[in-house]
Structure formats: C-alpha cells, structure tokens
Homo-oligomer: A and B are copies of this chain.
Amino acid sequence: MIKILVAGFKGKMGATATKMVLEHDDFELVGVLDPFEDNTNLKQMAEYPEIDVPIFKQKEDVLSVEPDVWIDFTIPKVAYENTRFAIDHKIAPVVGTTGLTEEQLVELTARSESVKIGGLIAPNFAVGAVLMMQFAQKAAEYFPDVEIIELHHDNKLDAPSGTAIKTAEMMSEVRTHKKKGHPEEQELIKGARGADFEGMKIHSVRLPGMIAHQQVQFGGVGEGLTIRHDSYDRSSFMTGVALGCKKVVQLEKLVYGLENLL
C-alpha cells in the first residue's frame, strides 16, 4: 500500500487524480493539500461523502500523515516549491504541473540524487501516446516507408498536430532518409500527398465528432504495420499518473518524461 498526498486536489486534474487514488487497490489517500480550502476533512465536502481524509492548508502539516508519494497538479511557482519540499522530506514527487524552467528541473534532479529519492515530472501522462511514439520510432528503423495520419476535431487550428510532428522527429532520428512515394509522382490537386517532413508524409484530418487520434502507418514489401492511438477524453492521463506513483518509490532520482519509465 503506497501512501499518497494530492496537492491541488480542487483543480480539474487534481480532482481526477484524487478519485483515481481513492479507487486504486494499491494506493491509500493519506491527505490532500490546498491553501484556500477551509474544510479540514474531505467528508465535509459534498463530492466526497464518507471519505475520511484530512485536508491540509500548509505543506508542512502533511508530514504528520507520512506520505510516500506527492502528486502535484498545482501551478508552476507552487509546484517548484512543493517538489523541493517533498524531496527534502523524502516524499517521492509525481508532478503533472507544466511550466517548470530548465534550471528548476536541473536543480530538483540534483537535489533528488543527493538524497536518493525517486520522482517524476512529466508534461504528458498518456501512456498510450508515449508508447505509440516509442513503437513508431522502433519500427522506423526497419521500415523507412512511413506516413502519419492524425485525426482531430475541427476546432483544432494547427496542422499537423504537435504529437504528429514530435513523432516524425523521433522517427527521423533513426530512419534511413528516403523520399516517400514514386520519384515521378504528381499531385493532380495540390496537397494530396500531405505535408513533407524529411521525406515522410503527414496527413491531417479534421472532422466534428473526433477527439484526438493518430495512426502511424508503415509499409514494406508485401506487408504493412500500423500503430494507432485514440484519445477519447482527458482522463487518459490517469493511467500514467498511477504508473508514476508505483515506479517513483523504486527510483533513486527524479526523472523527466514518462517515456523514461516505460
């Protein structure tokens, strides 16, 4: 049983994390933290009937419940201070707050190493998306013929998506450079063959109803290999937070990026 504290438990992400911890068999919620909450126990709040867990206003007070892991979904300034405090008190941080500076990351990592406490700071907790990118990179070593099809709702302004570009970048690190398609291919209508990223092609589909989907499609002689990730809603990051909580207690330093735990 891993004892967990959630900082920023009233935000959208923090609330989802709190619920995940409460429902997970391997986790025990030992406290939540929010400087602006006047209630002192979750059971006083409508959303948490019969959940007897203390609410703390000051981070120093959480030490009384001896958490193993500190989940943090606050704001950058607070997250930095919280993470430093957690490390100093041998509580392993799992931080989803984005916006920490390079400098802060370096300092926190050094601090964690010196006290041999594990931790995770990750801008993206969607395990499926991270695996998709890792698999795509691996397959690109063997199949230089690859195209990305990414599909999003039609409110999205930019094409290709950031994930598609990041995937293409990861593949181009290992892929034998090759211009895709027939050397003499012709576009009868401009844009048909998609966006060119170092010889690979990216196609951006925008349709109402869709959420966020990406398909990386490889072709070889007589065969095809496809890796697809579908993101249906924001709760998808919870698999990654849970994974982080389990892994950080076994680490001896802070790690940046979920991919380094997979």
Between A and B, 10 residue pairs with Cβ closer than 8 Å are: A128-B220, A145-B154, A154-B219, A165-B189, A203-B205, A207-B219, A223-B232, A224-B232, A225-B227, A226-B227
Taking the complex as formed, is A44 at the interface, i.e. its CB lies under 8 A from any CB of chain B? no
In the complex, A228 Cα to B204 Cα: how many Å?
Answer: 18
Contacts A129-B223, A193-B206 known; 6 new A-B pairs at CB < 8 A: A145-B154, A154-B219, A201-B205, A224-B229, A224-B230, A232-B232
Does A262 sit at the interface, judged by CB under 8 A? yes
> Do B195 and A191 touch across chains, with their CB atoms under 8 A apart?
yes
A193: chain B residues at CB < 8 Å are: 159, 191, 204, 206
A132/B203 in contact, CB under 8 A: no
Q: Is the CB of A202 within 8 A of B189?
A: yes
Copies in the complex: 4
Q: Does B139 lie within 8 Å of A157, measured CB to CB? A: no
Closest-CB distance, A165 to chain B (whole angstroms): 7
| A residues with CB within 8 A of B | 126-129, 131-132, 135, 138-139, 142-143, 145-147, 149, 151, 154-160, 165, 180-182, 184-197, 201-211, 217-239, 243, 262
Chain B residue numbers with a CB within 8 Å of A238 are 221-222
A83 vs B203: C-alpha distance in the bound complex, in angstroms?
46
Chain B residues within an 8 Å CB radius of A201: 205-206
Q: Which residue of B lies closest to A234 (CB)?
A: B222
Q: Is the CB of A207 within 8 A of B196?
A: no
Q: Write out the residue numbers on chain B whose beta carbons fall within 8 Å of the beta carbon of A202.
A: 189, 192
Once bound together, how far apart are the Cα atoms of A209 and B144, in whole Å? 13
- CB–CB B236/A222 < 8 A: yes
> Do A192 and B189 contact each other (CB < 8 Å), given the known contacts A182-B155, A203-B205, A230-B223?
no
Instruction: For the complex, give the distance between the alpha carbons of A54 and B127 in Å.
Output: 49
Complex alpha-carbon distance, A70 and B127, angstroms: 43
Q: Which residues of B contact A235 (CB under 8 A)?
A: 221-222
A195 adjacent to B185 (CB under 8 Å): no
